[in-house]
Amino acid sequence: MMKNWILSLTTVVSLSVVAQTAPRGPLQNAQKALGSFRVSMAEGPEEAQIAGFDETTNYHIGLNLYQDAQLTDLFGASGSQLCAPVAITQGMAYLRYAAKFALKPIADLDRDGNADTFKDSIRYFFEKCGTDRDIGTRYHAAIYCMRAHIEESGFKAWAYIMGAHAPDAPPGSPIESTRHVLTVDDVRATVGRAFLVLMGVGWYKFDAASNTWVRDGGHFFNVYGYNWNKAWAADKMQLHVVNSWINYEGRSRETMFDTVTMTKVAGETGIPWETAYELKGTGFDFTTHRALVEDIFVAVPLQ
């Protein structure tokens, strides 16, 4: 079962250092509400110099869900559109076993005699998030189903999209606190702070007739860390990501992620207004399409 498998890991969270306190913005109240959950981090200029970054952090749970995601009965005509259910499954496992929130177990949906497996969870979020076999999962549906699962587990949910497609904001906060073009500071404020963080990118293909980049699909994946230097300001950062279509078999648990670069493209001719960055690196380098960053999906149970 998922629980037994994860608890067999002696170290489910890998930590590096955070040299400075990242900006908090609208997340401050949610972070305070985490209460007893605190992760000890080394801080200080010596660690920052060793790491080579002004800020660096990496939380991940060393899971390879590639084989669990091969649920061919849920595939569409063009293959798998399960990136959101897989990423949410991994994120919820992080909240449940690394951050120690008692989220509810998942029933034996595939009827193999074992409840609460990763395959059960992927099937659960496929249904709960209204994933379409051919289209995938809509952004609003993804955040709403994450919020619902946390609330059905007996918690209050702080679960919001941060980016141009945010449908709502926390009570008492202006919509602009969540609905804005995603920034480097949004990532710095959320990743590595006990939040589940997913990122959504669009696959954009160049249309010569309009001289613009046109969306031709999208993708969800987990973000567990980042590297950032002051000199990069809002122009660049590195992300530590776990991608559902990467098979991490053969890697140690501590290296079951990829480091990709997020670089500013705002102002470039033909770039859509709702995105300001492009991803480059393993899983995002294609000759015909660009991976343009759109939104992050942030969730945490509140006690």
Q: What is the pLDDT of residue 215?
A: 95
- Distance between CA atoms of 184 and 49, rounded to whole angstroms? 21
Q: What is the pLDDT of residue 59?
A: 86
Length of the chain: 303
Q: What is the pLDDT of residue 27?
A: 53
Residue 85 · residue 58 · CB < 8 Å: no
Q: Looking up tokens 């990532």, which residue turns up?
A: 187
Dihedral angle, C-alpha 126, 127, 132, 137, nearest 10 °: -60
Which amino acid, residue 76?
Answer: G
Radius of gyration of the chain (CA): 19
- Distance between CA atoms of 296 and 120, rounded to whole angstroms? 25
Q: What is the pLDDT of residues 148-174, one digit of tens each?
A: 999 999 999 999 999 999 999 999 999
Domain extent listing, the chain: 2-302
DSSP 132: B
Q: What is the pLDDT of residue 193?
A: 79
Task: Pull the structure tokens for residue 224.
Answer: 């567990």
Using 50 as the pLDDT threshold, list the residues of the chain that sit under it. Answer: 1-24, 26, 31, 33-48
- Distance between CA atoms of 251 and 258, rounded to whole angstroms? 11
